[in-house]
Structure 1
């Protein structure tokens, strides 16, 4: 039997380098992935981290040894792997990425044919079992086929010194390097009418992650078609050392560079991405950050305008604004459990055109029901031009109509006890009890959702009200006090 592997999570693979995730583990995952899926063709890609290429090459070696032909699309965002998997008609795809995790982490996101996600119950656990079952002798023997030494030391690995050389893989016809960028760009631009665009200036902050090259390719095609869009680029060059910090705009302390650039350049709005750019975050012309919740409503309305009677999927943390917009626009709102695997599954079941989470994940039926960090801003840019309104004016009234607290995390000694305290006090008074995901309670003019973390003793609270920001703030403090009364 092989070693216990600890980097498998509920929806993907994430682990600390050299302890939880090594070249050996990556090889095991590749071999097990191909064996479990009986995959003959697999797409792989990797983000900008220095350790992503070494891991991808070890992963590819495992895939090849299990009988798969590997197409390596190079440095890419997660959604580029999603796109290539469906576009090329292959049996599966794997992106090596740790997204916004610390520099000493890495991971993988896995999909089946058609870019259907692989999570715990849909194949990830089975891949883990297969990966662990491989003997140490087999793995080290096969790795030595691709390398002069089977293993590398921790410091070399952390510095991104690939142990498996690409030319070793290229000795067979089982490893192919191929770019899908041209087709990816064409697909991204298919969501909008470029003729609708008037002059725009947009700040784009790739955070030195994988978004820069994709944005450059989109910009090149826009300019080729004489679209009058100017991009002001911040931290644009891909750099695996992340000289400006790990890109995670969900954290308020990481937003200043984008906000300042918007104000300094007089841009119409700003965009910032996380490391693998499957999420995008928007800023208005004043540099104010716009919560993902309100972007969900904006995009839902845009899709319904183009496709009447559309089904829209949303998560249960905050939703009054989304429901109100969708119903008034003639669409059908459908609530789903939080998390990409659940959202994608529900979208397929309902044939929903769009799904959105407050965490800035946006899902699209025509993008294999996958999340994209490029499609949302393209749609927003088109809306700004067509409606001849600022982004701020499009969301201002919605924020006023349904003010929300944003997600507030509380780290506790006993999360279960906190959940019980809140349930006992508020559930008897609620007009609606919703257990789609965590505890959701509705009252006449305010509501909240409380969810436990799956991995740590943390409670996540979201509160919203109907047109009363003072009430929302008051109830947020009230519920938080009860949560934290340990």
Structure 2
């Protein structure tokens, strides 16, 4: 029996050739079908050069199991989520490695109603079936059809805009040569047809699996000035960039300043709570005070979840939450099958800018001052568990609370921090915030890093 190392906590990704190839993906397709027993499943792929061939191998595995396949073509991950729910399909599978290195690829899978599949909800069962590769003969061979899902999807996206009150805007949009390129063009065309006064300044908007401008991952500090500089150059109202499969959305204000995803979570939480008083908002454990404060001010309930899209979605569904957000720029919406979208957030922010007649900078600056954070800081260490324990032992005596929902979080009267280890590399991720004290933020960040890095 082959051991498959490409199965992670809530999706599949691996190095091409060794961890992931057409044969492995074929077996994953057979195993998915054996586990779920679906009748019809949609598939799609991102712009990576291997995505099409892997998608075809996946489709063969599904069809050889008697499953009918709907091929959505070159798309973003959220289009799988939308199509699965909108067309009432039995599941959906996306071929994508998102922001992983160029020699990687992977799969993201959902079941009916776009419910997530994680370690806790079937991913390990699928892995075992794929490893055993003892697949039953189907009663009939499945068939493949092609479908353009974009008209219904674009209509849904634009429903988040109140077009009557929308002010004219200029936006820099950086698709990073990824899957977002075609969707950006379709949104632009639909806006022009409907007379929506939003102008796009498009960057890196040709799909290219060689990623001539680097693999799109705007959370990296070295990539952020590219979009920020363009915002200033074009005197735009806002900048937007996406990762490779555009399930994450990153924003810049009119000055070209990058806005950490944490503060966007608070902004969107407030917007939803104004429209839906008393609703539940889901957040991850890394940075929490701003989100909790926004919820308290607007009669909402903040609920913490483990980090990761499959976990957040499950809590979203169970709590019937109207919105959920992670500081990593994943945003989840009840009206989008409780799934994450990289397109809905910036549309909602455009709506907010018009309604409040304020800039993005004005909307978030006060929150950034109230709960300052240096952003996520990664440290390479020899042994992540030992390094985290060292920090924990140093600071736990002073802590007023300890939380281990995800990694370890220690809270103090005026500051708090969370430490998590990476699932894929010897890296520890630090997130820290204070109650309005930038000097304390810098002091405690330096102190923790000194202990963490030994």
| TM value normalised by structure 1 | 0.91
Q: Aligned ranges for residues 71-90 of structure 1 at < 5 Å?
A: 71-90=70-89
Corresponding residue SS for 2:145:
strand
Q: Distance in 1 between matches of 2:118 and 2:170?
A: 39
What is the deviation of 1:196? 2.1
Determine if contact 2:39/2:68 at 8 Å carries over to the other structure.
yes
Find the aligned partners of 1:414 and 1:52 in 2 and give their Cα distance: 34
1:169 aligned partner: none
Residue equivalent to 2:44: 45
Q: Secondary structure at the match of 2:94?
A: strand
Q: Distance in 2 between matches of 1:290 and 1:207?
A: 18
Q: 1: distance between equivalents of 2:49 and 2:385?
A: 40
Q: CA shift at 1:270, angstroms?
A: 0.3
1:304 equivalent in structure 2: 273
**Equivalents in 1 of 2:17, 2:400: separation in Å?**
51
Aligned twin of 1:151? none
Q: 1:371 maps to which residue?
A: 340
SS in structure 2 at match of 1:252: coil
Structure 2 residue matching 1:404: 3-state secondary structure: coil
Deviates more, 1:416-425 or 1:461-470: 416-425
Once the two structures are TM-superposed, the CA of residue 84 in structure 1 deviates from its matched residue by: 0.5
Q: How does 1:168-187 map to 2 (within 5 A)?
A: 174-187=143-156
Query: Is 2:115 aligned against 1:116?
Result: yes
Equivalent residue for 2:289? 320
Mean Cα deviation higher: 407-416 or 72-81:
407-416
Which deviates more from structure 2 when the two are superposed, residues 331-340 or residues 450-459? 450-459
String of CA shifts for 1:363-408, please: whole Å, max 9, x gaps: 0011111000000000001111111111011111111111002111
* 1:352 alignment partner, SS class: coil
Q: Any residues of structure 2 matched to 1:128-167 within 5 Å, and which?
A: 128-134=127-133
Alignment-derived partner of residue 55 in structure 1:
54
Q: Which SS does the other structure have where 1:444 is aligned? A: coil
Preserved CA contact (<8 Å) 2:410 2:418: yes
Q: 1:230 aligns with which of 178, 184, 199?
A: 199
Pick one of 378, 395, 417 that aligns with 1:409: 378
Distance in 2 (alpha carbons) for counterparts of 1:261 and 1:103: 26
Tell me whether 414-423 or 109-118 shows the greater mean CA deviation: 414-423
Larger Rg: 1
Deviation at 1:425, TM superposition (A): 2.2
The alpha-carbon distance between structure 1 residues 399 and 443, as it changes in their structure 2 partners (threshold 3 A), is: same
Alignment partner for residue 385 of structure 1, among 330, 336, 354? 354
Structure 1 residues 125-157: Cα deviation after superposition (integer angstroms, max 9, x where no partner): 11111112226xx99xx9xxxxxxxxxxxxxxx
Q: C-alpha distance in 1, partners of 2:246/2:146?
A: 22
Deviation of the 1:173 alpha carbon: 7.0
What is the match of residue 146 of structure 1? none
Match of 2:91 in 1: 92
Question: Which residue is equivalent to 2:427?
Answer: 458
Q: Which residue of 2 is the match for residue 342 of structure 1?
A: 311
Aligned length: 452
Q: Deviations over 1:44-82 (max 9, x none)?
A: 000011110000001100100001000000000000011
Asked whether 1:426 is paired with 2:425, we answer: no
Instruction: Please tell me whether residue 291 in structure 1 is matched to residue 260 in structure 2.
Output: yes
The secondary structure found in structure 1 opposite 2:216 is: coil
Q: Provide the alpha-carbon RMSD of the alignment.
A: 1.6
2-side partners of 1:30 and 1:413: how far apart? 37
Q: Deviations over 1:255-284 (max 9, x none)?
A: 222112111111000000000000010001
Q: Does 1:21 align with 2:20?
A: yes
- What does residue 198 of structure 1 align with? 167
Does the 8 Å CA contact 2:64/2:142 hold for their aligned counterparts?
Answer: no
Which deviates more from structure 2 when the two are superposed, residues 116-125 or residues 368-377?
116-125
Q: TM-score, normalised by structure 2?
A: 0.97
TM superposition outliers: structure 1 runs of 4+ over 4 Å: none
> Structure 1 regions of 5+ residues with no counterpart?
143-171
SS of structure 1 residue aligned to 2:222: helix
**2:104 equivalent in structure 1:** 105
Partners of 1:330 and 1:370 in 2: CA distance: 23
Question: Residues 34 and 173 of structure 1: is their aligned pair in 2 closer, same or farther, counting only changes over 3 Å?
Answer: closer
Q: Give the Cα separation in 2 of the matches to 1:452 and 1:208.
A: 30
State the distance in 2 between where 1:133 and 1:104 align: 26
Distance of 1:417 and 1:54 partners within structure 2: 42
Which residue matches 2:408? 439
Cα distance in structure 1, aligned partners of 2:199 and 2:422: 41
Alpha-carbon distance in 2 for matches of 1:267, 1:335:
35
- Which sections of structure 2, spanning at least 5 residues, go unmatched? none
